[in-house]
Amino acid sequence: MRNVNQILQAKGGRLVTVPQEAPVLEVIRLMAENHIGSVLVMQGEELVGIATERDYARKVILQGRSSADTPVAQIMTRQVVTVSPTDTAQTCMELMTNRRIRHLPVVENGRVLGIVSIGDLVKAVIEDQQEEIAQLQQYITS
């Protein structure tokens, strides 16, 4: 089974972040432009939160706030669940299921290395299973 570092390498190292002061409207635009469901909120090099589409729906739309006037710091999730590069896809999927989250920032020694989504993990598991099936088929036919 793949670990998070392997998934990040296959995915590429692009990381979308915003400062705490960024207006929610800018954050939502970034998500749309990059086809992603979350953005990491940083203060310098420090991860201070994560803003997700779910945060937007629940804390802006349902509360009648203005996307243009609300800073992301007011709606972001502050208690960010993170994983390390050595964690397995299985560990991440269990964590996501138990915590009901879809995005996990990858942090090592206080430094953000990337982020994995449920989609990234499902893709990795499917590829691992396809590889295992091919190996078993080859074993059976040889």
Q: Output the CATH code of domain 4-141.
A: 3.10.580.10
**pLDDT grade for 118, boundaries at 50, 70 and 90:** very high
Give the C-alpha separation, 89 to 118, whole Å.
Answer: 10
Domain layout of the chain by residue ranges: 4-141
Cα-based angle 63, 41, 88 (whole degrees, multiple of 5) = 110
Q: What is the CA radius of gyration of the chain?
A: 17
Q: For residue 15, which amino acid is it?
A: L
The tens digit of pLDDT for each residue in 45-104 reads 999 999 999 999 999 989 999 999 999 999 999 999 999 999 999 999 999 999 999 999
pLDDT attached to residue 46: 96
Averaged pLDDT for residues 21-49: 96
Tell me: pLDDT of 13 over 80: no
